[in-house]
Amino acid sequence: MDRRVARTRKQLREALIELLKVKSVQDITVCELADKVEISRGTFYLHYKNVFDMLETVEQELLDRLTAAVREAPMGTRERPFSMLLPCYRFFAEEAEMAAVLMGAYGDSGFFRRAAKIIKARSLSDWKVLFPELTPQETEYLFAFIFGGSLHMLEGWVTGGQKDSPEKMAEYTHRLVADGIALYGARA
C-alpha cells in the first residue's frame, strides 16, 4: 500500500477513535472525519464508502490480525490448556485504544462476538484433543465460563490503562481459570 494512502487511513482511524469516545458511529459524519484529518470528503470516499464501511473495514482488519495471532499460538497442554491467552493479551495491548473504544459506551459489542467466534473455534479444537473426556456440551460451558470471565478481565485491563504486562495478565488469567477448574475437579 502506498505510504500516503497508509498515512491517510491511519489518520482517519485515529480520528474515528477520538469521535467514538464521545458519540456513536451513527452520529459521526464523513465531514467530521475529513475535517479532523484535514482532507476533503472526496479523499475520504477514495478510501471508504461511508463511516459504517470505515468502521467495518477497521474491525475486519483487527479480526484478521486476531485470527493470525490465535492461529500462530501453540497448542496447549493438559497442564496449560489456555495457550491463546498471551497472544490475545498482546494483540489487545497493541490495539488498546481501539479496543477501549469498542468496549466503551459508543462501541460495537458485535466486534467482540465475532472475536469470540475466532477464539472459540480454536479453543474447542484444542480442547477436543486435550480433554477427550469432556462432552461437547461441557466444552461449550467451559468456553462460555472462561471467555466471559476473561473478556471482563480484558475490559478492565484495557480500560484501566494496562498497568500490568500482557504476560502477567495471561499468567494471572490462566491461574484463575486453572485453579478454578482444579477446584471443580476435586469436588466432582
Q: Are residues 75 and 20 in the same domain?
A: no
Cα 41-47-48 angle, rounded to 5 deg:
80
Residue 113 lies in a domain: yes
Which pLDDT score is estimated for 15?
97
pLDDT truncated to tens, each residue of the chain (188 aa)? 789 889 999 999 999 999 999 999 999 999 999 999 999 999 999 999 999 999 999 999 999 999 999 999 888 877 777 888 899 999 999 999 999 898 888 888 889 889 989 998 998 888 888 889 999 999 898 888 888 888 888 889 988 889 999 999 999 998 888 776 655 455 44
For the stretch 52-77, pLDDT in tens is: 999 999 999 999 999 999 999 888 87
Q: Are residues 116 and 30 in the same domain?
A: no
Which pLDDT score is estimated for 131?
87
Residue 69 lies in a domain: yes
Residue 132 lies in a domain: yes
Which pLDDT score is estimated for 182?
59
Which pLDDT score is estimated for 82?
80
Q: Are residues 65 and 41 in the same domain?
A: no
- Domain extent for 144: 61-187
User: Domain containing 153 — which CATH number?
Assistant: 1.10.357
Residue 56 lies in a domain: no
Q: Are residues 173 and 140 in the same domain?
A: yes
Residue 28 lies in a domain: yes
Q: Are residues 11 and 97 in the same domain?
A: no
Which pLDDT score is estimated for 180?
67
User: Domain containing 20 — which CATH number?
Assistant: 1.10.10.60
Q: Say what the pTM is.
A: 0.84
Q: Are residues 77 and 112 in the same domain?
A: yes
Residue 54 lies in a domain: no
Residue 53 lies in a domain: no
Instruction: Report the number of distinct structural domains present in the chain.
Output: 2
Q: Are residues 33 and 92 in the same domain?
A: no
